[in-house]
Structure 1
């Protein structure tokens, strides 16, 4: 039992070390905030004035103004009480009542401090959902569930502690992403499947599939005159990373590799598992028949997984598509909206990478499993 826990525990320590030391290493090139400000938790002590009304377009919310007496719960000013104005609109809809906890923005402007209700405190809901997910994974998966959680934690440490700081440091996004995805893939399959031929083939097939997806996204993105600037907040990144030569052009490649990785991993392990089981059940079966049978299994997987990727990217652009339909926009105009084109290229590139994972994985499976046979 201790041996089985040794590797997950080591991965957990490495991920924790990455998250701990990353801010220290990246502090020299991390963009500095334009305005000195802090976000702290606060509580509404009393609603002094409440001039709000139901929004005629969205009756379930209110708009208007409030004057609040609030108490700061954390930070250097913990325990202090201040009067704040709360302007409530559709976009900034932070309607508060006595006893509500929320996030208060404190910004220094000259010699004065500005206090503004920034947002509802939503962290509690997220943490409860996270706890529920972890509990279900552990109950259903037991040791495999624990390995899955450690793998997810390690992935987060690579993205937050290495990939993002590395991009701001001006490192080559393509090489950095490929290396990090390779490390992620290796650690994930070692945790989930152990070290054997099945996991080795799944590693190689997954890496091949996500690289294909990234290359396709970058190639056709540039053909369509799209680049990282058209990603959400892409233009804002130029101002954040101008002094560090942030290579925005290649962010399409990075984005598609990260977003398609999960689906490609599923396909790769499914393909090699099918091949492995066919080989175990019928070792005398000719290799050509085994490959054809595995490809037939892959066709069924492909049909559902491509829908998953396309629908995921369409869902991220749902409101934009609704606006287009509402304005009765011509197809030629619809197809050439950068956000729509980008979502299509992302979905299609991910699907192509997923499809190509099937033959790539089978090629590696045939080579690895039959190496030295003759």
Structure 2
């Protein structure tokens, strides 16, 4: 516990020194997002409530926290929020179908031994829970990419107010190309970092490549990574188009706030 408090204090000090008030808000946003996740867990236990609906509401709150609470309400955050909502809305149906067809719901056989003493008849639709997990894992990457595009586009328009909508859109796409590779690779290595012990276990048990790929845990995480990557890729043109449309429409009256 002391180590956790020490690391939290170091993180808060560094974020405040580097980011000022915005850095401090970013630190407290971590706990607000944690509270939203706890909220989701409580309501997912109710069999009468659709987990996907709860997750979508939670994603809207997470988007508001990560964008409006940290960066305040301005052109950058509004366009990033709208782009995130549109992209997530398009992905929902695809994610639900993939979660159902891939049969990644529930627990893998690597986990079931520890849970064998408990009753698994808890009245929860694990297909929807699996889809909710993917959606929740995807929204943060989408929001991050949307903000990473809308912010420099606003700066470009501020310093070049006569830029055309097409040129600004192309600038957004160019920015998106730069962050696309790093964003998707971050998702990929986050999985391998979190599940490195599992991969070592697969090796010690002499799992074949086919057994690893078809493992429920491995395939579930890879599907999550691919869905998040698809979301990040889709949000680039969506954010570029919405931001270019809004900024050029407003002309020189565009927001000058940070």
2:75 maps to 197
1:41-89 Cα shifts (integer Å, max 9, x gaps): xxxxxxxxxxxxxxxxxxxxxxxxxxxxxxxxxxxxxxxxxxxxxxxxx
Q: For 2:157, which of 279, 291, 313 is the aligned residue?
A: 279
1:288 to 166, 172, 186: 166
Partner deviation per Cα, 1:283-333 (whole Å, 9 max, x = no partner): 222211221122011111001010000111222332332333445544333
Q: Which residue of 1 aligns with 2:42?
A: 165
Residues 228 and 216 of structure 1, relative CA distance in 2, 3 Å threshold? farther
Query: Unmatched 5+ residue regions in structure 1?
Result: 1-122
- Cα deviations by residue, 1:267-289 (Å, 9 ceiling, x for unpaired): 11111112212212222222112
Please report the TM-score for the alignment, with normalisation by the length of structure 2.
Answer: 0.84
Greater share of helix: 2
Describe how 1:1-374 pairs up with structure 2 within 5 A.
Answer: 123-160=1-38, 162-170=39-47, 171-212=49-90, 215-230=93-108, 239=119, 242=122, 245-326=123-204, 328-371=206-249
Q: Alpha carbons of 1:231 and 1:202: their partners in 2 closer, same or farther (altered >3 Å)?
A: farther
Q: Tell me whether 331-340 or 129-138 shows the greater mean CA deviation.
A: 331-340
Higher relative contact order (CA 8 A, sep 6+): 2
For 1:16-63, what per-residue CA distance to the aligned partner results, in whole angstroms no more than 9, with x for missing partners? xxxxxxxxxxxxxxxxxxxxxxxxxxxxxxxxxxxxxxxxxxxxxxxx
What secondary structure is seen at the aligned counterpart in 1 of 2:34?
helix
Q: How many residues align?
A: 248
Instruction: Report if the CA contact (8 A) 2:36-2:61 is conserved.
Output: no
User: Separation in 1 of the partners of 2:110 and 2:167?
Assistant: 47
Contact 2:157–2:247, Cα closer than 8 Å, also in 1 = no
Compute the TM-score of the two structures, normalised by the length of structure 1.
0.60
1:340 to partner: Cα distance: 1.6
Q: Is the 2:29–2:66 Cα contact (8 Å) retained in structure 1? A: yes
SS in 2 for 1:153: helix
State the shift of 1:133 in Å: 1.1
Contact map agreement 2:100 2:127 (CA 8 A) in 1: no
Going from structure 1 to structure 2, the CA distance change for 1:240 and 1:332 (only over 3 Å counts) comes to closer
For residues 54 and 202 of structure 2, the distance between their equivalents in structure 1, rounded to whole angstroms, comes to: 37
Q: CA deviation at 1:260?
A: 3.0
CA distance in 2, matches of 1:360, 1:232: 40
RMSD: 2.8
Structure 1 residue aligned with 2:255: none
